[in-house]
């Protein structure tokens, strides 16, 4: 598991050990800052023939480089910069509510969370008003996850907290306007208020990079072609979504988004058995269903001489 989130993996393994024979599954935790890096050692070891990794693009690239030495098979599920396109015919309040939940779930710390929002100019103002109201309300629901009524927890570590703070400050410095949030909550822990930023465009780090935290940039568009082009103007390609009351037209737009998973009037829902993964720097290979099983096998052809 990641050195910043080892406990969940260790707890799950404790239960799995009751099911699987000894040696079938093993978990080894470590720290990247130590001289001996567990992940790097396992990835480059000659007896390891397959590496499946979920994490950052930077670490994925490093693993890919290590695995190149002996052509290991790879599955990489990396970061995303998912765009949601809100059409002018959508139910604004309903879309705002659902998009908020898909952008700020786990305080935005989800690889396939909504991280950019493009809204048609005709519904831009009411949409921004609706989602910023939800963000303001959510501030009072941030805290210890064991407390009643809490729905949003802290950022995982100081480095990520500092990154979110820096991205939001940079956006404001470049003309961005805060409709909600934009600051730390309290003086203990890494709690950051759900944040909505407008008046930003491509070229601003909050728009171009994966923030992986509770800060959502919202931009307006005039035509569907513009929205598709801007949504696709990224090296990422994990997920995307289209929000419209015209499901047929939304599906046509969804087919134009360059991403491994695209939703219509939803986002982030992953069904069992449906392949999941990214294109571009968002990953390599697929998880889930038969496609996942194939990632862990090799075709084997046996030929017989013709008599």
Q: How far is 146 from 92, CA to CA, in rounded Å? A: 33
Q: How far is 141 from 151, CA to CA, in rounded Å? A: 5
Tell me the CA end-to-end span of the chain in Å, nearest whole number. 54
Any idea what the Cα angle at residue 269 is, between residues 111 and 124, rounded to 5°?
Answer: 80
Contacts of 173 (CB under 8 A, 6+ apart): none
Residue of 77, 224, 287, 295 with catalytic role: 77
Q: Reading across the β-sheet that carries 73-77, which strands appear in turn?
A: 50-54, 73-77, 283-284
Rounded to whole angstroms, what are the CA distances from 60 to 77, 168, 288? 8, 26, 19
Phi/psi of residue 42, nearest 5 degrees: -65, -40
Any idea what the Cα angle at residue 113 is, between residues 128 and 217, rounded to 5°?
Answer: 35
Sign of torsion, CA 204 184 82 254? negative
Q: How far is 13 from 292, CA to CA, in rounded Å? A: 21
- Is residue 290 packed enough to be buried (19+ CB in 10 Å), middle (13-18) or exposed (0-12)? exposed
Retrieve residue 254's tokens. Answer: 């969804």
Mutual orientation of helices 247-254 and 224-231 as an angle, nearest 10°?
A: 40
SS3 of 121, please? coil
Rounded to whole angstroms, what are the CA distances from 133 to 126, 152, 168, 191, 209? 11, 16, 18, 19, 25
The answer to whether residue 77 is catalytic is yes
Q: How far is 242 from 263, CA to CA, in rounded Å? A: 6
Residue of 111, 117, 128, 142 with catalytic role: 111
The answer to whether residue 111 is catalytic is yes
Q: Which residues are catalytic?
A: 77, 111
């Amino acid at each position: 598991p990641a050195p910043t989130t080892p406990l969940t993996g260790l707890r799950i393994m404790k239960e799995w050990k009751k099911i699987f024979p000894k040696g079938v599954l093993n978990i080894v935790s470590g720290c990247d800052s130590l001289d001996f890096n567990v992940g790097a050692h396992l990835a480059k070891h000659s007896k390891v023939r397959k590496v499946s990794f979920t994490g950052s693009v930077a670490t994925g690239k490093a693993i890919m480089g290590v695995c190149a030495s002996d052509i290991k098979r790879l599955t990489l599920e990396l970061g995303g910069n998912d765009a949601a396109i809100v059409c002018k015919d959508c139910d604004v309040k309903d879309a705002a509510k659902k998009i908020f939940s898909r952008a700020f779930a786990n305080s935005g710390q989800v690889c396939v969370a909504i991280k950019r929002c493009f809204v048609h100019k005709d519904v831009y103002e009411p949409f921004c008003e609706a989602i910023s109201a939800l963000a303001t309300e959510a501030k009072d629901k941030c805290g210890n996850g064991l407390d009643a009524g809490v729905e949003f927890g802290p950022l995982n570590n100081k480095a990520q907290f500092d990154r979110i703070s820096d991205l939001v400050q940079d956006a404001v410095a470049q003309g961005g306007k805060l409709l909600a949030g934009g600051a730390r909550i309290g003086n203990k822990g890494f709690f950051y208020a759900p944040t909505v930023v407008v008046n930003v465009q491509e070229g601003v780090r909050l728009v171009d990079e994966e923030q992986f935290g509770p800060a959502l940039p919202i931009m307006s568009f005039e035509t569907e072609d513009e929205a598709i082009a801007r949504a696709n103007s990224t090296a990422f390609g994990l997920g995307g979504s289209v929000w419209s009351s015209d499901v047929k037209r939304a599906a046509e737009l969804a087919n134009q988004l360059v991403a491994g998973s695209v939703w219509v009037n939803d986002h982030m829902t992953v069904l069992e058995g449906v392949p999941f993964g990214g294109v571009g720097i968002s990953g390599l290979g697929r998880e889930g269903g038969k496609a996942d099983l194939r990632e862990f096998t090799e075709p084997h052809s046996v030929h017989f001489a013709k008599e």
